[in-house]
Structure formats: structure tokens, C-alpha cells
Amino acid sequence: MQLPKIPIGDAIEVLVYWIEQYFGWLLDAISGGLGFLIGGFQSILIAIPAPILIVLVSVLVWFVTRRDIKLAALTALGLLLIWDLQLWNLAMLTLALVLVSTIVALAISIPLGIAAAGSDTINAALRPILDFMQTMPSFVYLIPAVIFFGIGNVPGTIATVVFAIPPALRLTNLGIRQVPIELIEVADAFGSTPRQKLLKVQLPVALPTIMAGVNQCIMLALSMVVIASMIGARGLGYQVLVGIQRVDIGGGFEAGLAIVIIAIILDRITQNLMP
């Protein structure tokens, strides 16, 4: 005997059709906006000659690490290697995807994190959604992204954004909730408005934790950008995918190495941005 099958699959199909029918304009707007941002970042990054960008990034690393000359030199060497491997333009596209995904993910997660810290109801409502997002295998995000946005950089970015939101949201929430109670009392006792309390006490005190969330967000975005190449996102990730498909060990490894170099540089910059 077989149990009657609950038609979850059918229901999802109806839902998808319904969303496309009534929110097509919204999907188009999102798609257009993201496409514009990615294209813009990519154009700017590629427009700057590689040697100049290498110097700029190295100086930035030197500056944020409070004059760590060794790290700055390693940054320059790593970027030179990417240039030398002729992966520069692909690396810039990957960087553009990571930057756009991170910006969008932070624009969603930090305000939601603040809201969750301020209200137990919102926190309780968000928690199962976040659990769901984090335990769901990352490949699964690719499916709705493809359904609504087709194939290419934009659905890749959407999947990446969804993947990168939870840690930044959780850490923002946690950081604000961990602000010592006496400091909240100071804000209240001296007559702060809720807005002053948030801007002058809660956010600054929670900043190290929030920055850890930003760091995690960037790292996850970078790892997801590679996976998103399966739905047509270009860049270094796509090069790795091609390497796998053609059993081109050398090519895949070079692209992978470039990703690691970018990851380390982004990680060091964001970690040192913390006060």
C-alpha cells in the first residue's frame, strides 16, 4: 500500500507561476538593478590598469593593517601572480560579484539584525528562517534563483546574497544584545532617544562583533560565487568549473589559487577594519 502523496511539488509550481505572473515587474527591476551594479563594478575594476590597482590595494592593506609591510608585500605578490596567470579580468569579475553580493547582503542583514536585537518577537520570527537558510545545502538556493532570474551573473548574485545574509544578521543581533546592560543604562539615564541610544552606544560598542559578521559575509560570498558558476555566473569560479568538467587539473588549480589569494586579502582587510 502506498500513502497518497502530498502535492508539495505541484503547490510550489503554482506558487512560482503566481509570483512570475504578479511580481514579474519586481523580478525584472531586481535583475536590472543587480545587472547594472555588477557591470558597473566590473567595468571600473577592469578600467584601472592592473599595475595601478595592485599598488592601490597593497597600499590599502598597508594602511588598514597599521603599516604591516610584510602583509602589504604579500598582497602585491599575490595580485601580481594573478595578473601573470592571465586571470586578471576573471578575478575582477569575481571581485565585482563578491562586492555587489556583500553590499546587498549587508544592506539587508544589518538593518534586520538591528531590528531583531530590538524586538524579541522579530528575533523569534527570524530565527527559524535563518536556521533554514543556513542548514539548507547551498546548491538548493540555485534552483529558485534560476527559476526567477534565468542563468548568468544576476541569479548567481541572488543565490550568493541569500547564502551570505545569515551570519551578518546573527552577529549584528548578537553584538547589540551583548552590549553591557550598564552602558544601555548610561544611555537611558542621560536621556537618550532610542535613535541616539542605537547610534551613539549600541552600534559603536557592538561594532567589533558586527565587523566579524561583515568579514564572514564576504568570505561566504566568495565561496558561494564559485558554486554559483553552476548557474552561469562567470569569473574565476566558472574557470574552476570548466577545469573540473574538462579534467584540466592545471587550469582549475590556477583559478582556485587566485580565489584563495583574493579571499586572504579581503579577509585581512576586513579583520583589520575592526577597532
Q: Where do contacts with other proteins occur on this chain (CB under 8 A)?
A: 180, 182-183, 185-193, 196, 200-201, 204-205, 207, 275
Rounded CA gap, 273 and 118, in Å? 25
Q: Which is nearer to other proteins, 17 or 190 (CB)?
A: 190
- Least distance from other proteins to the Cβ atom of residue 191, Å: 3
Q: Which is nearer to other proteins, 134 or 272 (CB)?
A: 272
Rounded distance, CA 23 to CA 141, Å? Answer: 19
Shortest Å, Cβ 123 to other proteins: 19
Closest distance between other proteins and the C-beta of residue 200, in Å? 7
Of the two residues 36 and 190, which places its CB atom closer to other proteins in the complex? 190
Q: With respect to other proteins, which residue has the nearer C-beta, 24 or 194?
A: 194
Q: How far is the CB of 183 from other proteins (least distance, A)?
A: 6
* Cell numbers linked to 266: 579581503
The three cell numbers of residue 254 are: 590556477
